Amino acid sequence: MDKYLLITLIIVLGFALYKLIALYNKYKNISCNDNLTGYDVARKILDKNKLEDLYIVETKGIFNDHFDFKQKVVRLSSQVYHDTSIYSYVIASFIAMQAVLQKENNQSYMVKKVIEPIYKLLLIFSYLLMIVGLMAGLNGLLLGTVFLIICLLYHIVFLNINFEIKDKLEKDFIKLNVIKKSEEEKLKECLEVINYYDIAGLILYIKIVIDFIVDKLKKI
């Protein structure tokens, strides 16, 4: 049974990452007519929702865009922060909208943030167990896999938040005149895929751990 759970995990995470990277490659060079940057779009979303006091800052890395719940800061990766592509618009606005959910005391979002520290601990333990499992035995590897599946379920359970953000953004983009009518279909495609952004982020973390393990094994 553990074998099939592991295969399912790999397939789901792989599909999410594939969709996100495909979206990135398709729309990273397609700019909108107004040539706004990701920062500009995030700022428009925040200002519209009376969050003028929230900062938007640039952060290093790729697919590292997130809303800092405790500091109340929108953090955008360098490319999204400066870029004028449709992809950057969607990512920047998706992250900014999480700040709006916090302001609105969205129940699902607040519960997710309360549980998030436990999720992060499980994620760390899963990596440690997988590393130990590879070095010392199969039990640690299997337990680490189970923890990763729990982390995946965390994102799946709260997918409704992403769908809610998507619905809000479809309306806001038009109201704010961020995109033209001819760009609506491209926007909707981006928003459909962005529902899996958190899951794709999970597999990127897994890749980092796998690269670390492979590097250590080569030195043995």
State the pLDDT at residue 210: 61
Higher pLDDT residue, 208 or 127? 127
Predicted confidence (pLDDT) per residue in 145-167, tens digit = 778 778 878 877 888 888 888 88
Of the two residues 96 and 214, the one the predictor is more confident about is 96
Q: Which domain holds residue 153?
A: 2-219
Provide the pLDDT for residue 50: 93
Total domains in the chain come to 1
Q: What CA–CA distances, in Å, run from 177 to 96, 145, 194?
A: 17, 45, 21
Could you read off the pLDDT of 99-148 as tens digits, one per residue?
A: 999 999 999 999 988 898 898 888 888 777 777 766 666 666 677 777 87
Residue type for position 41: V
- Which of 82-96, 138-152, 164-178, 204-218 ranks highest by mean pLDDT? 82-96
- Residue 160 corresponds to which tokens in the numbers above? 């409704």
